[in-house]
Amino acid sequence: MSYYTRLSVTCTSEVSELLIAELAHAGFDSFLENETGFEAYAESDDYDKDAVVLIEEKYATLGPLLLAFDRIEKQNWNEEWERNYEPIIVDDQCIIRAEFHQPARQYPFDLIITPKMSFGTGHHQTTYLMIRAQIKMDHRDKRVMDAGCGTAILSIMASKLGARQVEAFDIDEWSVTNSHDNIELNHCQNIRHQIGKLSELAFEGRFDIILANINKNVLLDEIPLYATYLGSTGQLLLSGFFTEDIPDLLDLAYSHGLSEIARDQKDNWASLLVMHS
C-alpha cells in the first residue's frame, strides 16, 4: 500500500519557518502549519533520514523541539489536509483560504492559497503582518515588487488591492510553480513571476511598493538593492525578522536614505514600513 511519511514537529514559532526550509531540502514536499508547530509530509520513505537527524541536532539548542514520525495512507492525504487547514482572517478585511473552503463574502478580500511546498499561508506571523500592513497601503495603479514571493500571497493581495503591475520572484523553482497555480486560482492577470534572486534579475524602472518577507540576513543583503529600485515616493515593507532585529535593519535603511513610517509586531515577529526620506 502506498503511503506518506508524516513528521509532526512541535517547536516555537521563531524556528518553524527555518525548520520548514531545512526539511524541504531533506525531501519533504508538503507542509501544514498548526498551533504547536507544523506537519511535514514525504512520499513513502523518500526523504534523507540522516539530514533529519542533523536538522534536529542543529535546532534543538534554540528551544523546545519534538519530532514524531508516523505513516498515513496516501488516499487519505487530501482529507487529512482539508480537515486541518483552517482559513485565516486578517482584521476582518481579508480571508485567506484553500480552494475547498466556501467563499466568505463578508470579507472585502478573498485570497485562495494552496501552499504545497511554498511558504505563505497567513498562518505564520510574518505573512499575517505583511497582509495586515498591505491592507492599509494604497496599491491603486502602483507598480509592485514581491521579493521572495513563496506562494505569491503578497502579490495576489497587491493585485486585489488595485496594483497596476506586480513583479514576483523567488530563488526556489517549486515556489515559482506554486505561485503560478495560486495566481491562476485568484484570476490575477497582472502578476509576472520568475525564478532568481534580485541581484541576478534586471528590472527596468522604479517600483512604488516593494514587499520583502524573507529573513534578516537576506534583508540586510538586499536593502541596498531595494533602495535603488524604490521610487522617490515609494514604500518598502519588510518582515521575516524579530522585534530585536529592528535596530539593525533600520540602521541600514537609514544609511540608504530610507526612514521609518510604521512598524507592527505579532508574537515577537515584526514588520517595518520605510520610504525615502
Tens-place pLDDT, residues 83-98 = 667 888 999 999 999 8
What's the confidence (pLDDT) of residue 151?
Answer: 86
Domain 125-276 CATH class label: alpha beta
Provide the pLDDT for residue 24. Answer: 84
Go through 254-274 and write b for each residue having 16 or more CB atoms within 10 A of its CB, e for each that does not.
Answer: eebebeeeebbebeebbbbbb
Does residue 203 surpass a pLDDT of 60? Answer: yes
CATH C-level class of 3-83: alpha beta
Please give the average per-residue pLDDT across 88-116, as a whole number.
87
Average pLDDT (69-95) is 76
Give the pLDDT band (50/70/90) at residue 76: low
The pLDDT assigned to 66 comes to: 94
Q: What percent of the chain has pLDDT over 90?
A: 58
pLDDT computed for residue 43 by the predictor: 82
* Nearest partner of 177 among 210, 201, 149, judged by Cα: 149
Whether the predicted pLDDT of 81 surpasses 80: no
Domain ranges within the chain, ordered by starting residue: 3-83, 125-276
Interior/surface letters 177-199, b for 16+ CB within 10 angstroms, e for the rest: bbbebbbebbebeebebebeebe
Q: Is the pLDDT of residue 78 over 60?
A: no
pLDDT tens, residue by residue, 114-164: 766 445 566 778 899 999 999 999 999 999 999 999 889 999 999 999 999
To the nearest whole number, what is the mean pLDDT of the chain? 89
Task: Please give the DSSP secondary-structure letter assigned to residue 118.
Answer: S
pTM value? Answer: 0.76
pLDDT at 236: 98
